[in-house]
Amino acid sequence: MEEKLIRIEGPKFVAGVVLEDGHVVRAAPIVSYMAQWGERHVRRYCESKGWTVADNTAEIKLEQIRWMLSDPDWGVGMLEDIAAIVAPIPDNPNDEPRWSRH
């Protein structure tokens, strides 16, 4: 089962859909009508609306990190949040401090 994230940018929104085996299995509320659509259908529809579609997961992750770094209120825990985006850490069954595992 292959999972893929697609980011959709419209003039007044940014949303995402998750595809498994080429079909939408989860969608942001604003594009919830795309549930069960195939990837080609999603891309063609977005193109017809003039929306931008990005499926480069690395670029999407970098954008999340850029947003975090630009937020002046972000502070304690930022590095853990960034690490979770870059390389998710499995649940900690021993409840040890996260920094000891890096």
Residue 20, CA atoms < 13 Å, CB-side half-sphere: 6
Q: What is the mean pLDDT of residues 30-53?
A: 96
**Hunting for tokens 């870059």 — which residue is that?**
86
**What pLDDT band is residue 62 in, cutting at 50, 70 and 90?**
confident
Q: Are 55 and 7 in contact (CB under 8 A)?
A: yes
Exposed, middle or buried by CB within 10 Å (0-12, 13-18, 19+), for 55? middle
CA 80 to chain centre: 17
Distance CA 82, CA 39 (A): 29
Which domain does 69 fall in, by range?
57-93
User: Is the pLDDT reported for residue 90 higher than 60?
Assistant: no
pTM, 2 dp: 0.57
50 and 89 belong to one structural domain: no
62 and 27 belong to one structural domain: no
64 and 76 belong to one structural domain: yes
User: Is the pLDDT reported for residue 88 higher than 60?
Assistant: no
Per-residue model confidence as pLDDT tens digits over 42-60: 999 999 999 999 876 677 6
